[in-house]
Amino acid sequence: MALELAGNSRETEQIVAFIHEHKSKQTDPFCAYLHHMPGLRTTANNRVQSLPEFCRLFYAVKANSEPHILQALAPIVHGFEAASLGEIVKIRQAAPDSPILFGGPGKTLEELEGALRHNVHLIHAESIHELNKLNAIAQRHGRMVSVLLRINLRGPLPAATLAMGGRPTQFGMDETQIGQVIQHVKQLPFLRVEGFHFHSLSNNLDAGEHIKLVQHYIRLAGEWAGKYGVELNYLNAGGGLGVNYADLDAQFDWGAFVSGLENEIRKDMRPETALLFECGRYMTAASGYYAAEVLDIKQNHGRHYVIVRGGTHQFRLPASWQHSHPFEVIPVQEWEYPYDRPAVEAVHVTVVGQLCTPKDVLAQDVPVKQVRAGDIILFRYAGAYGWAISHHDFLSHPHPGHYYLEPSPVSVT
Ligand SMILES: *Cc1c(COP(=O)(O)O)cnc(C)c1O
């Protein structure tokens, strides 16, 4: 079973062939997101199939909520995690019957109503006020609503790029308030607590640490369930499985993670408890690419700048995380213009977009053999938190193409 975080070379070859074919048909500079759909399905399938039977894998749609992605994943994953009513609606359009988990701080009355209307399976409650609101709505609908209590644990927790828990944040309820929260929710007759939700970090690269974290969750949830007499039908361990953008060959070790679930976690699970994961980045990053044509190359204060069509208004991830995003140069031989073709060889380049801000940097000081105007910069691992988190209309440049490569490619522009 191919369990590595894909980005494999056959897939990349197909993407490159598609770019060449497409670029030759258009006069505008090439700029597009490309999704390798068979790659996405195969990886998702392998992950779901390899999990022990007490686990469920949900897709956290905020990483990439494009309809094609949701439709492709719907028959594979156990369900979806939504963070807004808008996401719930998108999921329902792609997957009318899939289980949905609904979380996130500051849920409005309208969103909670909408969640019931769209048959959300579990709601992650983030505060006592939210529990009160939800109970009132459930009462109005005359039905019981199942909730998981989202808990922000006291640290220290393993390090990762983003920490939602183990430190002060707007997420979840403080671990030290758990007794008080459960006492309170027991007074709310329309709510049924079915377990706990933890999503403490994002982009964790260490499978062993992640197993330890899940073990910690299981131990605490078991203690609370016993001490306060609540059901433990679900323990949601969140997402946060990472992508190593700095070293593509050292990815999160899924095989070790699954072994950890079998060998370290299984023995601690109660028979009635399902262990849920709601992964975003780890599901869609690898099969997505952002391809941008080189418009100009210049030297400024001793540095080489490669300016591409597009930029961080379309692919904000590297600016948001202040990292240099991995890319390769796809050479394009044709040059049909009567003037010189800008080019550099054997230098370090900084790849930037077309925005009027020095923050519009996609990759920094990266050695390249050769790059010329008209070549394509192909950014890998761009399928999650790329287009989805970007401010598309800043500067009003045209949007990139969006291509979903199937045996016969589907294009949405
Ligand atoms: C964003 C988010 C996820 C997904 O996180 P990844 O790091 O992309 O796996 C899961 N659960 C919650 C509550 C989230 O906010």
**Per-residue model confidence (pLDDT) at position 140:** 96
Q: Calculate mean pLDDT across residues 111-132.
A: 97
Confidence of residue 155 (pLDDT cuts 50, 70, 90): confident
Local structure of 283: helix, strand or coil = helix
**Per-residue model confidence (pLDDT) at position 335:** 94
pLDDT in tens, 258-281: 999 999 999 999 999 999 999 999
Q: Could you confirm whether domain 2-36+286-412 is CATH 3.90.1150.10?
A: no
Residue 315 and residue 318: Cα distance in Å, rounded? 7
Q: Is the CB of 87 under 6 A from ligand 1?
A: no
Q: Is residue 279 flagged as an active site residue? A: no
**Per-residue model confidence (pLDDT) at position 4:** 36
Percent of the chain predicted with pLDDT > 90: 88
Mean pLDDT of the chain: 94
Q: Calculate mean pLDDT across residues 121-137.
A: 97
Pocket test for ligand 1, best of 199, 245, 279 (most atoms within 8 A of CB): 199
Q: Are 360 and 397 in contact (CB under 8 A)?
A: no
**Per-residue model confidence (pLDDT) at position 411:** 67
Q: How far is the CA of 190 from the centre of ligand 1 (A)?
A: 27
Residues carrying CATH 3.20.20.10, the chain: 99-279
Residue 374 φ/ψ region, left for φ over 0, alpha for ψ in the -120 to 50 degree band, beta for the rest: left
Q: How far is the CA of 273 from the centre of ligand 1 (A)?
A: 21
Q: How far is the CA of 32 from the centre of ligand 1 (A)?
A: 25
Residue with the larger pLDDT of the pair 86 and 162:
86
Question: Cis peptide leading into 400, omega within 30 of 0?
Answer: no
Q: How far is the CA of 314 from the centre of ligand 1 (A)?
A: 21
CATH topology of domain 99-279: TIM Barrel (3.20.20)
State yes or no: pLDDT of 16 exceeds 50.
Answer: yes
Atom 5 in ligand 1: residue holding the nearest Cα: 239
Strand-pairing partners, residue 33, are: 290, 402
Pocket test for ligand 1, best of 62, 170, 254 (most atoms within 8 A of CB): 62
Residues carrying CATH 2.40.37.10, the chain: 2-36+286-412
pLDDT in tens, 305-322: 999 999 999 999 999 999
